[in-house]
Chains A and B, each alone.
Chain A
Amino acid sequence: MTRAADLAAELLATWSDERLDVVRVGDVLLKLRTGDRRAIEIVHWLVLHRRFQFGGMAVREEGERWQVHYLLYDRDPGGPWVEVGYDAPSTQAELPSLSSLVHAADWYEREAEDHFGVRFEGHPRLGDFVLHDEEWPEGLAPMRRAFDASAGAARGEPNCDWRPRRILHEPGAFAMTIGPIYGGIAEPVHFLLETTGENVVRAFPRLFYKYRAVEKRAEGQEIAAALLLAERFNAAEAFAHSFAFCRAIETVGGMVAPPRAHGLRVILAELERLRCHVGTIRAICGSTGLAVAEARASYLEEELLRTCGALAGHRYLFGLNLPGGLATDLSDVSCRSLVGRLSEAERALHTLDRMLATTSSFLDRLEEVGVITEKQASEHGLVGPVARASGVVCDLRRAHPYAGYEHYTFEVAREEEGDGYARLRVLFFEAFQAIAIIRQAVDRLPPGAVLASGGGAPGGGSAFGAVEASGGAALHWVWLDEEGRVARYRIAPPSFVNWHGFHLAAEDFAFQDFPIILATFALSVAENDR
């Protein structure tokens, strides 16, 4: 019996009295439908007792009912995905809140409240999340069908009396403000650092200055247009996100990409991971003021961008993924020259790694700074290098392999300290592993087509696609209507999850360490804000 079957049996046995439908989709997915409170219990049980990772939550408006879906997956290889769903009438004032039990759901619930106007019972911090109070009036609910999403639609008056929510109550405490415009070349984020002068007790980020309502914009679009949105909302990881979206569409349409497409997708995904990690290393070096290392990493990043451009035409790998494979083939010759260029990059990266490890003034600023414990990382459902640096090891490439990852030999990074230096070590490790995977993939690249033939636009249905992007697990969830247009599009990007956990690292620290902690998290505002 497979783990999925075991789990299904166990669920049915534990909750035998309630209405609980369990549908097994192959050996990889369990779809559960039940009542709202039971769904919360089951999710909590899976997270607490079966060490499942909370993947994301999606709320849909279907007719007069809310459809709520939770997606979880097993951290260990061989386990299934579990989707727990329930529905409730739209008139129901409050839905039960999961975040007091599974804290990883906190920001999903806050986002749903701003998007749909649906409240979650007992959540102490709803409001002023996606739509800032001083810009937007209350009760807008832009994701509802009735909302007119065109430009220039009339809207009410915002609440100009917005004041920051203060947590620190101490005589003389204040909330030092940073942003939204700060730094030289930085994304807009508004930080409020609560402090009494020396130590910052609590850092509270206000995001969604770059909210472009990608999910709303995708509704009613054809798949080709939605693919553009999936690729471009965070162009630094364009390939990974378009990959996840294409996997979702492939699952709905029953398409299978040919083996050469799998191999090329692995090469390109690892190339993007390498480039992103080098960019993060550059940011860390820059934040500590080690300008020489920053310049070397920056040089390497530009070389990698040029490598991508020479290989695939576009420096950020735009326009490559299609549902069913790739839009264009890459010749074996260019793949082998890629390996050659990467060898140079590998040497440069090794040198950088070695020199950074022996620069004590650099390490002093990273060690024991911004510590996240394993318990905290696990409770907040953190993903990616940040989680692995704190001991929470979950890599989709190993746990739920796709595109042939199960055939490649690579190790998943793991560190225990959870401080800035641990995160840096994870980044270097994964970068070297990426180069190793690319070599293996180029060696084993089979000939053949790169795009699945046949199959027109898929009809109705829903599916999710998940890939391990450089920042962590990226989930794209798609519901298509009968004509094959997007009815609901839900993205659960890794930055959204990790931004939620950022405040754990940013508690009780000296103010000078703030940019360093921020840099070691490799957070993207564009990815979070969608």
Chain B
Amino acid sequence: MAGWFAHGIAAGIRTTRFPRRREEAAGVTPGLPQSTRIGARAGEVASRCPTGALVAQGEEVAFDARRCIHCYRCVRGVETPVRWSEGYEWTLRPEGDRAGLRQAGVGEVAERPFAFEPPFRRSINILVMDAGDCGACLSEVRQLTAPQYNLHRLGFFITPTPRNADLLLVVGPVTDAMRHPLLSAWEAMPTPKRILAVGACALTGSIFGPSFVSGAGVGDLLPVDLEVPGSPPPPLAILHALLVLSGRLELSGSPGAGTMAGEGD
């Protein structure tokens, strides 16, 4: 048993410096497309997107991060690919009149700030619910507990029961069989509570929904506070969202809008 200890000490500290510094190692994020001025072939490029994340507007191709599933068809095998950004601050507020917001009632959601308020900021328990996810988003959430990211140092903990949970982190398009567990878990969580929808499936249903067994994301069921687009969003993107939820980082502009997504410090 002593061998484990010695090896551990010899390995040193390998944790990322985020959020104090940007993480720029290779492979930490797949990046996202950005809105690009293509020219005459804008329509052709936009039509390559299978989920409608690219919309041709004249000679521009506008990008909606919510729908992007990282299929790379807008950059691979295309003569005029869209521009690509390598950031990971992708957190979004949900927009539009989603059924989940309506169902939750006016007082509870409409005026509620999306970030936790003191004294709940420094220690947040997360209940991770897989509502039909393909496995990639869940794996990225799991990587948050890897030494490189080390969720616990920032005060976030994973809990298996909704009774202890502050945050409901949902991945997956919400299959029919998972509707009831999702709703009963939300019901069982004590206030104050928030919801974080992670991944394109949880935002829009992606390529699986809506259908007779699959929904179009969590927003139709529950009042989502923050969303993280991507398929899957890398651990740093999820971490960014968690820090925004705990009020320690500001919500930046919509990803893919400018050259680089906003600074996270």
Binding site for B on A (CB under 8 A): 132, 135, 142, 147-153, 155, 180-188, 208-214, 216-217, 224-225, 228-229, 232-236, 238, 279, 292-293, 295-296, 298-299, 301-303, 305-311, 313-316, 318-319, 327-328, 351, 355, 358-359, 451, 524, 526-527
Contact = CB atoms under 8 A, between A and B. Distances in A.
Contact of B172 (A152, A210, A313): A210
B134 A233 contact: yes
B177 A309 contact: no
B176 interface: yes
B147 A298 contact: yes
B76 A327 contact: yes
A212 B212 CA distance: 9
Contact of A299 (B148, B158, B178): B148
B184 to A, nearest CB: 9
B91 interface: no
Contacts, number: 198
A473 B7 CA distance: 37
Contacts of A213: 211-214
A359 B216 CA distance: 47
A23 to B, nearest CB: 36
Nearest to B159: A184
Contacts of A358: 3
A181 B147 CA distance: 26
A102 to B, nearest CB: 29
A211 B175 contact: yes
Between B3, B139, B145, B212, the greatest number of chain A beta carbons within 10 A of the residue's beta carbon is seen for B212
Between A185, A298, A308, A327, the greatest number of chain B beta carbons within 10 A of the residue's beta carbon is seen for A185
Where chain A touches its partner, the secondary structure class is loop
B145 A298 contact: yes
Contacts of A234: 134-135
Nearest to B184: A181
Contact of A310 (B27, B136, B175, B211): B27
B22 to A, nearest CB: 15
Given A279-B139, A526-B133, A526-B135, 19 more contacts: A149-B211, A149-B212, A151-B210, A181-B160, A187-B135, A209-B175, A212-B209, A213-B212, A228-B71, A234-B134, A235-B135, A295-B147, A299-B148, A301-B143, A305-B143, A308-B27, A318-B231, A327-B77, A359-B4
A211 B72 CA distance: 26
A185 B211 contact: no
Contact of B212 (A142, A208, A214, A224): A142
Contact of A153 (B26, B160, B212): B212
A314 B175 contact: no
Contacts of A295: 146-147
Contacts of A148: 212
A303 B28 CA distance: 9
B178 A209 contact: yes
Nearest to B143: A302
Interface in B10-52: 11, 14, 25-31, 50
B130 interface: yes
Contact of A188 (B4, B26, B130, B209): B130
Given A151-B211, A292-B4, A210 B175 contact: yes
A209 to B, nearest CB: 4
Contacts of A315: 27, 30, 140, 232, 234
A450 B231 CA distance: 25
A434 B179 CA distance: 40
Given A306-B25, A355-B3, A526-B134, A181 B181 contact: yes
Contacts of B148: 299, 302-303
B128 A185 contact: yes
A23 B13 CA distance: 62
Contacts of B189: none
Nearest to A222: B50
Contact of B30 (A135, A307, A314, A355): A314
Given A236-B139, A318-B72, A299 B14 contact: yes
B71 A319 contact: yes
A309 B130 contact: no
Contacts of B218: none
Given A149-B212, A209-B177, A228-B50, A184 B30 contact: no
B106 interface: no
Given A210-B172, A299-B14, A305 B134 contact: no
